[in-house]
Amino acid sequence: MQKKSYKDATLEALAEEMGRDPSVFVMAEDLHGRGGGLSHYLGLKELLNGDTSHMLDTPISETAIVSSAVGAALSGMRPVIDMRFSNCLPACMDELVNQAAKSRYMFGGQGKVSMVVRCPDGIVKMQGAHHTDCLEAWFAHIPGLQVVVPSCPAEGKGLLKTAIRNDNPVIFLEHKTLFKTEGDVPEGDYTIPFGKARIAREGRDVTLVVYGVMVNRALEAAEVLAAKGIDAEVLDLRTLTPLDKETILASVRKTGRAVVAHEAVRHGGFGGELSATISEEAFSSLKSPVVRIGAPFVPIPVSPHLEDQCRVLPQNIVQAVCQMMA
């Protein structure tokens, strides 16, 4: 194990996959200048020993980036593209929803769309409504797309390597606060399978079903709950499509209670799908109704005070669990 930042762990994953497979390449805005929108590609050139032939700068056109990636993937390449912010995705919905997601099916498997769409998302201080949405529920609704939400450096590296090797288009959603976080990362080549959730903390009283940045917040909440005598199990979904229903249901049947939390708005969020699945398939095991936590149904404001009202924090989870247990 080595301690690495999320940025460095995912850069390492990219460099390893580009060295392993010459069909892998990266496209992003300002890639050779500031290292992409969040500077999270700085250092990739050095990891590639100065070879930038597979690092392509793009114009400021999400439509051009995605359509180029779809064409390259259908031609046998494996592009990794960067959307700078997940809020840029609506500009290229036709390319993602009608082309990337459906081409393999419509052509009887003759054309594979092996591409990774990296999408930094989530609330970061004073970025306003145009740069803070969490849109995972949109893409989890589309057959043919795989939706991945890593939670820490080790998960980011292993899931990104799996995404690059995957023969399907992958929406890779990374909370912007993750890039500077640090954690232990296994050495050497490793991948993390899609559709297999991780039990981040075992417990017996309630299951916290979370993904992405909410995993660490749920772990913080679990420590507070432990001091109150409540033993919470934290389940890191890793991927929303494919979804590991078996692990979710096994955990809820053990604890009898479930709290689903995400930073996306609660209304129409992926938490609704999770809650429905638990209620339909583990109803007889539930000791209380499933609780959903999410942001209010408003565009994220730029005012720090109002922005704070939209965050889903450990204390929100603690409060929900305590009310449920009561």
**Sequence-separated (6 or more) residues with CB below 8 Å from residue 120:** 37, 38, 40, 83, 84, 85, 86, 174, 175, 176, 179
Residue type for position 102: K
Question: What pLDDT, on a 0 to 100 scale, did the predictor assign at position 132?
Answer: 84
Residues with pLDDT less than 50, the chain? none
CA angle 155/158/164 to nearest 5° reads 130
Structure tokens belonging to residue 303: 């005012």
Dihedral angle sign, alpha carbons of residues 149, 164, 185, 31: negative
Domains of the chain: 2-185 (3.40.50.970), 198-325 (3.40.50.920)
Give the C-alpha separation, 168 to 231, whole Å.
38
The three-class DSSP label of residue 224 is: helix
Model pLDDT for residues 237-292, shown as the tens digit of each residue:
999 999 999 999 999 999 999 999 999 999 999 999 999 999 999 999 999 999 99
Question: Which pLDDT score, from 0 to 100, does residue 130 have?
Answer: 80
- Backbone region of residue 300 per phi and psi (left: phi > 0; alpha: psi in -120 to 50; beta: other values): beta
pTM of the predicted structure, to 2 decimals? 0.94
> Choosing from 40, 131, 175, 262, which is the catalytic residue?
131
**Is 280 a known active-site residue?**
no
Query: What pLDDT, on a 0 to 100 scale, did the predictor assign at position 47?
Result: 86
What integer pLDDT is reported at residue 289 of this predicted model?
A: 96
List Cβ neighbours of 270 (8 Å cut-off, separation of 6 or more): 136, 137, 140, 240, 262, 264
C-beta of residue 81 within 8 angstroms of C-beta of residue 120: no
Catalytic residue among 12, 16, 29, 62: 62
d(CA 103, CA 118): 20
Closest C-alpha to 146, from 108, 107, 193, 190: 193
Residue whose C-alpha is closest to residue 24's, from 115, 110, 111: 115
* CA neighbor of 314 nearest in space, from 224, 230, 210, 183: 224
Contact (CB, 8 A) for 307 and 124: no
Phi, psi (5° rounding) for residue 243?
-105, 135
Instruction: Report the pLDDT value the prediction gives residue 280, as an integer from 0 to 100.
Output: 97
Secondary structure (3-state) at 25? strand
Active-site residue, 131 included = yes
The rounded distance, in Å, linking the Cα atoms of 234 and 145 is: 26
